Structure 1
Amino acid sequence: MDSVTQIALGASVGELVLGRRIGNRALLLGAVVGSLPDLDVLVPFGGAVEDFTYHRSFSHSLIVLTLFAPLLAALLNRLPFGHGATFRQWWLMTWLALVTHPLLDALTVYGTQLFWPLTDYPVSGSIVFIIDPVYTLLLLAGITLALRRNVGAHQWNTAFLCAASAYLVWAAVTKHRVEHRVRQSLQNQSISFDRLLLTPMPLTTLGWRFVAMNESGYLAGYYSLFDPPGHEIKSIQHPSNNQLLATLNDHWPVQRLQYFTHGFYSVDRVDNEIHITDLRMGLERAYIFAFTVADILPDGSVAPANRQAGTEMDFPGASRLFYRLFDPAVELR
């Protein structure tokens, strides 16, 4: 999730555990502790694909963070203001503020390695967009009321934190229902596919985008909770061009991207480069992550590469996304 949301979540958790003990300092410290996992963006991992796929690994591991929590709690407990709470209370606050960060990240589509180093499998619940105003505003409302430190401040923060958590449950249930609806519609149209991915549209869980992989490539389409009952969900077929990887199957960046994207990727030749695009994040002609995995030399041979590809965004615009929520005739290609 975005930094503002993670700061708000950490502050809310800090107030929940220590607000009655150390006042508003609990919000500040919770916000700081809850932001620590994202410091891995400062670590160079050695290449474009490495930076992309090793983000949210060790620093987002529930195992690593659980081991780190008592050490951080002991440090905070020794500070001048730390005597307002017991070591166990500091331990609980630091642990909750740390682990809720990757748990929330795991609900996006990116992929979070929750159980590193036991496995580097990227968990991606894909029930919320990386920025979700509803969830963030609920957290901000709770901590804003808590900052006033009047009667009921603690209860207000707790109530809004519970409401934000309930929203995530609603998003998970909604995704399950939408996935069933999409599968049913594709089957009714005699469209076969091997894998199906659903992701929320930007900033909302009222609209969803789906990608279905098949032998010919992939299908992409959209569904809104406001679509009329019985509406036939439209999808557009796109080629995957996997034949371009024929000589690159042993190239580590190719293998890593295939694994990290759960197979939801496409391959394209752009000028004299071969690109792999992550289909999970973005829209058609407006994908966020693409990588150059090979250069085509003048003699026609292929030289392995590993760098982020420059992408030209042909974004349909926020207005078209908004209109698609209420009008299934609006096309987002």
Structure 2
Amino acid sequence: MDSLTQLVLGASVSMAVMGRAARPAKAAAWGALAGTLPDLDVLIDQGDPILDMVLHRAESHALFWLTLFSLPFALAVARWHGETDRWRRWWAALWLALVTHPLLDLLTIYGTQVLLPFTNQAWGLGSVFIIDPMVTVPWAVGVVAALRAASPERARRANVVGLSLGLAYLGWGAAVQQHVLAKARDSLRAQGLPAEQVLATPTPFNSVLWRVVSVGNGQFHEGFHSLLDGPGPIRFDRFDQGRPLAQALQAHDGLTRIRRFSDGFWALQAHPDGQLLLSDLRMGQQPHYVFRFAIARRDEATGTWLPMARAESAGSRAPFAPSVSWLWRRMGGVPVAPPR
């Protein structure tokens, strides 16, 4: 999730655990810091944009390493405030603020390596968009109300209410995702399309309109389903995944990494300028993807693809005004085609 959401979640859980053992402002400040720390790995330059992508949310998001770090961190905080008699409470609060960060990230589609060093498998459930005000606002309002409350009891109540509302919304998103996946698989089968490898993830800032992607037989299919749609199957557009292009680059490290990191939701496209573009299909929508990389150039003399020494970022975002207009109408159940 975005940094603000992680900050207010860390503050909220820290205040909830510390209770009367620490002033709300103090508990919130340390919890906010703990909730932000895992994302500092973005400051590490891996030397290649593909590596920057697949190595984000790695060791700094691993439950094992965060748990080990939480103990000296909590001891240092307790000693700083002269509260060594409460170090166990600080440990519980800061451990929870740290580990809820990757657990929340798990609900997005990006991919989080929570079980390092035991496995580097990246998991992303995709039941919430990476920025969703319906998650952030209840937590932020609860934290602010708690900090301004006239009594500890009112502070606790405000924080718990805000925390609970945000968690309830996350539960709602997970339930809706299963509903959309079931409808998507039924729609794909009814149209004779591959239904074995399917993802459903919400479109930006909401949980009403969902994007569905199916991969199979060298193609991928993209469709959209709103909870306000009328009866009938989801309509899908078909696109080539570019598997023949991948044959020429079997040993390419970046291609291998993205194919694994995306759990098979990738595509290759030969661009007219002579570059070969690799896209992670999970984030964005056709033809605009946040994570797209130029990984090879065409040799005009031989017609073969020559791997680039270093991948180049080639991600793009859809034009803002047409996209917002389409998103709003499509959320309302109007069957308009997405901007291409």
Q: Same fold (TM over 0.5)?
A: yes
Query: Aligned with 1:212: secondary structure?
Result: strand
Distance 2:239 2:274 in 1: 21
The equivalent residue for 1:83 is 83
CA drift at 1:314: 3.6
Query: Aligned with 1:275: secondary structure?
Result: strand
Structural mapping, 1:57-68, within 5 Å: 57-68=58-69
Count of aligned pairs: 331
User: Counterpart of 2:178 in structure 1: which amino acid?
Assistant: H
Calculate the aligned-residue CA RMSD, in Å: 1.5
User: Counterpart of 1:50 in structure 2: which amino acid?
Assistant: L
Structure 1 segments unaligned to the other structure (5+ residues): none
Query: Aligned with 1:32: secondary structure?
Result: helix
Query: Aligned with 1:227: secondary structure?
Result: coil
Structural mapping, 1:170-189, within 5 Å: 170-189=172-191
CA drift at 1:185: 1.7
Distance 2:110 2:36 in 1: 18
User: Counterpart of 2:280 in structure 1: which amino acid?
Assistant: D
Distance 1:85 1:100, change over 3 A: farther
The equivalent residue for 2:130 is 130
Distance 2:220 2:146 in 1: 48
The equivalent residue for 2:93 is 93
Given that residues 14 and 27 in structure 1 are in contact (C-alpha distance below 8 angstroms), is that contact kept between their aligned partners in structure 2? yes
Query: Aligned with 1:232: secondary structure?
Result: coil
CA drift at 1:297: 2.5
Pairing partner for 2:160 from 158, 180, 183: 158
The equivalent residue for 2:29 is 28
Distance 2:316 2:112 in 1: 27
Report the more deviating stretch, 255-264 or 144-153.
144-153
Given that residues 284 and 317 in structure 2 are in contact (C-alpha distance below 8 angstroms), is that contact kept between their aligned partners in structure 1? no
Distance 1:313 1:159, change over 3 A: closer
User: Counterpart of 1:255 in structure 2: which amino acid?
Assistant: T
Distance 1:311 1:36, change over 3 A: closer
Given that residues 22 and 85 in structure 1 are in contact (C-alpha distance below 8 angstroms), is that contact kept between their aligned partners in structure 2? no
Query: Aligned with 2:150: secondary structure?
Result: coil
Matched, 1:297 2:303: no
CA drift at 1:327: 2.8
Given that residues 138 and 161 in structure 1 are in contact (C-alpha distance below 8 angstroms), is that contact kept between their aligned partners in structure 2? yes
Structural mapping, 1:193-272, within 5 Å: 193-228=195-230, 230-270=231-271, 271-272=273-274
Distance 1:22 1:158, change over 3 A: same
The equivalent residue for 2:75 is 74
Distance 1:192 1:302, change over 3 A: closer
Cα-to-partner distance string for 1:38-59 (whole Å, 9 max, x where unaligned): 0101112231111110000000
Given that residues 62 and 114 in structure 2 are in contact (C-alpha distance below 8 angstroms), is that contact kept between their aligned partners in structure 1? yes
Distance 1:20 1:309, change over 3 A: same
Given that residues 291 and 314 in structure 2 are in contact (C-alpha distance below 8 angstroms), is that contact kept between their aligned partners in structure 1? no
Structure 2 segments unaligned to the other structure (5+ residues): none
CA drift at 1:281: 0.2
Given that residues 275 and 309 in structure 1 are in contact (C-alpha distance below 8 angstroms), is that contact kept between their aligned partners in structure 2? no
Given that residues 295 and 302 in structure 1 are in contact (C-alpha distance below 8 angstroms), is that contact kept between their aligned partners in structure 2? yes
TM-score (norm 2): 0.93
Pairing partner for 1:310 from 307, 314, 335: 314
Distance 1:313 1:167, change over 3 A: closer
Cα-to-partner distance string for 1:217-251 (whole Å, 9 max, x where unaligned): 110010011111x2221110011111112221111
CA drift at 1:262: 0.5
CA drift at 1:258: 0.4
Distance 2:318 2:38 in 1: 33
Given that residues 291 and 308 in structure 1 are in contact (C-alpha distance below 8 angstroms), is that contact kept between their aligned partners in structure 2? yes
Distance 1:184 1:84 in 2: 58
Distance 2:288 2:97 in 1: 34
CA drift at 1:122: 0.6
Distance 2:67 2:131 in 1: 26
Query: Aligned with 2:38: secondary structure?
Result: helix
User: Counterpart of 1:302 in structure 2: which amino acid?
Assistant: W
Given that residues 213 and 223 in structure 2 are in contact (C-alpha distance below 8 angstroms), is that contact kept between their aligned partners in structure 1? yes
Distance 1:242 1:137, change over 3 A: same
Query: Aligned with 1:317: secondary structure?
Result: helix
The equivalent residue for 1:121 is 121
Distance 1:272 1:34 in 2: 43
Distance 2:197 2:250 in 1: 21
TM-score (norm 1): 0.95
The equivalent residue for 1:321 is 327
| Identity value in percent | 36
Cα-to-partner distance string for 1:146-185 (whole Å, 9 max, x where unaligned): 0113231111101221221111111111100111111112
CA drift at 1:295: 1.8
